[in-house]
Amino acid sequence: MPVSSAPEEHLRLQNIGVSFGNVNVIPSLDLSVRKGEMVAFLGPSGCGKTTTLRIIAGLNTPSRGHIVVGGRDITRLPIHDRDIGMVFQSYALFPHMNVSRNVQFGLQMRNVSGREAEERAGRALEMVQLSHLAHRKPKELSGGQQQRVALARALVIQPSILLLDEPLSNLDAKLRDEMRVQIRALQQESGITAVFVTHDQVEALSMCDRVVVMRNGHVEQFGTPTEVYERPATAFVANFVGRTNKLKGKIGSDGVLSAAGQQLHSATTVAPGAVEVLVRPHRIHLQGQAGDTREADNKVKGTVSGLTFVGDLVQYGVRVGDDEIVVEEATRRERRPVGVGDSVVLGWSAEDTLVYPGGGQ
């Protein structure tokens, strides 16, 4: 794939607002997607992911703002002129047409000749490995097969943008893993710009170039999976993407952070006041283990209150004052055994100590 120094913007949402009746579902949304990248919309149920997707497709009309694709304002363009492929959560295949006719539909609407349409549909079905089912009706297919037909149907028209609304949520875990890889491969192969809606963080982080974390109709953070995970912009993002421990703390007028009854070090600085301190479980380790030479900026004493062995890792619950901190460590053979009731010292680095303003009180 050619790597250009300045990635070209392909899709821009500009100050988009959406209301249903007098409910303002999306107050104001700005977003810019580059050509050929796959962006995930990640967020809890009801945060407006589907609505935003439907706005791009033209299925909903924004009450405000502009949609720009490839430099062209398409806000007022009718759905059928938008050249946008959409994979619906329910697949929405045409029940009265067989698989091949389903895939040919978009080509027929573009007045592609019968033979060419058949050939291109054939190739699209090959791509999703469904050539042998071309003459089946949708109701004679499994969920995963229907999903692939929907994908082929959207891809065969070579749309300028591919929209996928939770396409994997109806599949079982194994098929979901397979389809993730397949969708990503197809997207990269065709170099198509794609928006992928999901409320599954693993899906968002593993498949997409960048992730939009949404909440209540606005963007909390827009960044690469690593950025979103390692440097969450808000406590909400830290909570939503990956698991995390939450401590109440405060920053004094001298700028010193205190939480869990002692002073802590953090790489981030925020204004004095009440704060939330977030640390991911697997970034904390038990100090003093044999062969453990890890330095810790923050050291906190506590008592083990629970222990779960999960095979490749051990999960400890550690009571620190009023707080319960979850620690995850990879299992190692030469570990010193730690049991419930043991006193331990937890250690983690300043970089892993995420501090956000607020946190009540």
Partner 1 sequence: MSAAATLPRQWRNGELAVMLLLPIALINAIGFILPVLNLARYSFNKSRIGGGIENVFTWDNWAGLLSDPFYLELVFNSVWISLAITLTTLVVSYPIALYLHRSTGSWRTFLTVLVISPLLTSAVVRTYGWIAILVDDGPVVSAIKAVGLPAPSLMFNIKGVFIGLTEILMPYMILALMAGFGRLDPRVEEAARTLGATPSRTFLKVILPLTLPGIALGCLLCFVLAVSSFITPKLMGGGRVFLLATEIYDQAIVTLNWPLASTLSILVLIVFGAALWAYSAVLRRLD
Ligand X SMILES: Nc1ncnc2c1ncn2[C@@H]1O[C@H](COP(=O)(O)OP(=O)(O)OP(=O)(O)O)[C@@H](O)[C@H]1O
Q: 84 vs 219, which CB is nearer to partner 1?
A: 84
Q: 54 vs 285, which CB is nearer to ligand X?
A: 54
Residues 33, 11 contacting (CB under 8 angstroms): yes
Q: 78 vs 341, which CB is nearer to partner 1?
A: 78
273-279 sheet: strands from edge to edge: 262-264, 257-259, 245-251, 273-279, 354-357
Establish if 187 lies at the interface with ligand X (CB under 6 A): no
Establish if 280 lies at the interface with partner 1 (CB under 8 A): no
Answer for which of 5, 22, 45, 269 binds ligand X (CB under 6 A) is: 45
Establish if 152 lies at the interface with partner 1 (CB under 8 A): no
Please state the closest distance from residue 74 (CB atom) to partner 1, in A.
13
Q: 124 vs 213, which CB is nearer to Mg ion?
A: 213
Q: Which residues contact 186 (CB under 8 A, 6 or more apart)?
A: 127, 128, 151, 155
Answer for which of 29, 31, 33, 57 binds partner 1 (CB under 8 A) is: 57
Selection from partner 1, ligand X, Mg ion, none that 94 binds (CB < 5 to 8 A by kind) is partner 1
For residue 24, what are its two tokens?
């303002």
Q: 104 vs 221, which CB is nearer to partner 1?
A: 104
> For partner 1, what does the binding mask look like between residues 9 and 48, x meaning CB under 8 A?
----------------------------------------
Answer for which of 15, 90, 113, 142 binds partner 1 (CB under 8 A) is: 90
Please state the closest distance from residue 29 (CB atom) to partner 1, in A.
20
Report 29-58 residues binding Mg ion (CB under 5 A).
Answer: 50
Selection from partner 1, Mg ion, ligand X, none that 187 binds (CB < 5 to 8 A by kind) is none
Residues binding partner 1: number (CB under 8 A): 26
Please state the closest distance from residue 8 (CB atom) to partner 1, in A.
24
- The residue number with the shortest CB distance to Mg ion is 50
Chain residues in the site for partner 1 (CB under 8 A) = 57-59, 78-86, 88, 90, 92-96, 105-106, 109-110, 153-154, 157
Chain residues in the site for ligand X (CB under 6 A) = 20, 23, 25, 43, 45-51, 199
